[in-house]
Structure 1
């Protein structure tokens, strides 16, 4: 699963993206990975969190998506 968000405000020179992905690993855990930065930049930041259940992982994803809406990001 991949959720991508963008925030584009040319008047403020703001061109940002935020991507949230969900994957499972070999140890029956769920990995939520968030990446963010400036659109078109070579470098970006990332954080990875591991959960034992799908419900916990989905709760984290919903929380991150609600933060993106609060900060005026748009789904891409």
Structure 2
């Protein structure tokens, strides 16, 4: 399993966000990219799960999600 965590903190804008991206394989030889995000410390969060048949496709999606975090000024943890 592979995981990357990102945060964006801007106190002047009351912005305290996190974004976590994980890659794992399941029992059926599929690859699962899971994204969770929300406000740091909040009890509720949002989740998006995507299943891929190949590791290359899953890695492409993971890199895409990471590039979006960089574009939106998140910092890796």
Same fold per superposition (TM over 0.5): yes
Shift >4 Å, 4+ stretches: none
Partner in structure 2 of residue 50 of structure 1:
51
Partner in structure 1 of residue 17 of structure 2:
16
Report how many aligned residue pairs link the two structures.
76
Partner in structure 2 of residue 40 of structure 1:
41
2:73 is paired with a residue of what secondary structure?
A: coil
CA RMSD of aligned residues (A): 0.3
Q: TM-score, normalised by structure 1?
A: 0.99
Q: Give deviations 1:24-57, integer Å, cap 9, x for gaps.
A: 0000000000000000000000000000000000
Q: TM-score, normalised by structure 2?
A: 0.98
**Structure 2, unaligned stretches of length 5 or more?**
none
